[in-house]
Every structure is written in structure tokens, then in C-alpha cells.
Structure 1
Amino acid sequence: MQSENHLFGDVAKLLNGAAGTLAGVGREAEASARARAREWIGGLDFVARDEFEVVKAIAIAARDEADALRARVDALEAALAARAADANAG
């Protein structure tokens, strides 16, 4: 009876060790695949997400500034047109 308990314990230890080894191999394979994918993608002309977000924010700020400048130019042109109309009337 006691030898059966040792047998089951030894088999359990063996299976636990094998499961741990397989998990480690799986993690190592995943890390290797990720590294190869990063290396492959790095050779392409992709942009990182954070770089894209920075450029997007700059583009939005530039568009807002251009809209503000366009409104300012429109106001100055209207004032100039009004002044020219007053000069022609007087």
C-alpha cells in the first residue's frame, strides 16, 4: 500500500515537472515569435501607436490654428472692404 502511494506521488511529481517544462517552452516560443514579428514589422514602414497619436495631435492643433488664422484674415478683409467702401462714399 505504501509503495503505491510513492508511485502515485512520483507520477504526480513527474507530471507536474512536465507541465512546468511545457509551460516554459510555450512562454519561450511565444517570446521568440513576438521578437521575430517585431523584427519583421520593424523592417516595414509602420509607425508606432504613440508616434501616430503625437502626429495626430499636432495635425489637429495645426488645423485649429489654420481655422483661427482663416477667421482672422476674413475679419481683416471685411474691415478693409468696409474702409474702402467708406472712402469711396466720402
Structure 2
Amino acid sequence: MQSDNRVFDDFVKFMNGAAGTMAGMVREGEASARERAREWIGGLDFVSREEFDAVKEMAAAARDEADALKERLAALEAKLEAAPAAKPASRAKKAVDKD
């Protein structure tokens, strides 16, 4: 049994149109908010992910190099402590005697 009531049909069409219009307004509002957020964030001093990762890798490499240099320094200090103390003094004395 179909309704021949035009008022009801017109009301349904009106509500469907209103729902479509509201959905469009919501999408437009979201797009506008995203654009404004991008503009706001773009004005701040943020770095890109690529720049952050590059600096992070450089820091890790520098840390590794510093650790290697610490180990090398410790080995040289241990070698210096193990060497007899008389040898450096005798070399210095020979250098003075030559002059």
C-alpha cells in the first residue's frame, strides 16, 4: 500500500536533502580545519621526519666513534702506565746532552 500523500513524500525528500547538505558541510569544515592546522604547524619550527632520522643516525655514529675513542684512550693510558718510568726521562736527558 503506497502513500499518495505528497506532503509526506516532500518531507522525506527535504530531510534527505538536509542530511546530504549537513554531510557536505561537515566534510568542508573538516577540510578547512585540517588546512588551518597545517598552516599553523607549518609556521612552527618543526623538523621533518627525514631530518630527524638523519640527525638521529648522525648522533648514533658520533656516539659509536666516541666509544671507540674512549677504548683507544684507555688502551694507550694502560700502555703508558705499564712502560717503565726511566725510559722517558733518559730520552729527555739524551736530547738535552745533544744540544
Give the Å deviation of 1:87.
Answer: 4.3
* Equivalent residue, structure 1, for 2:60: 60
Aligned amino acid, residue 3 of structure 1: D
Structure 1: 5+ residue runs without aligned partners?
Answer: none
Distance in 2, Cα, partners of 1:86 & 1:7: 115
Larger radius of gyration: 2
Q: Aligned runs of 1:1-90 on 2, under 5 Å?
A: 2-4=3-5, 7-85=7-85, 87=87
**RMSD between aligned alpha carbons?**
2.7
Q: Deviation string for 1:54-75 (max 9, x for gaps)?
A: 3233323321221122112211
**Unaligned regions of 5+ residues in structure 2, if any?**
89-99
User: Once structures 1 and 2 are overlaid, which stretch shifts more, 49-58 or 67-76?
Assistant: 49-58
Query: 1-side partners of 2:84 and 2:10: how far apart?
Result: 102
3-state secondary structure, aligned to 2:47: coil
User: C-alpha displacement at 1:14, in angstroms?
Assistant: 2.6
The SS at the match of 1:3 is coil
Q: CA separation in 2, counterparts of 1:13 and 1:54?
A: 57
Report the residue type matching 2:18 in the other structure.
A
State the AA in 1 paired with 2:3: Q
Greater helix share, 1 or 2?
1
Return the TM-score normalized by structure 1: 0.67
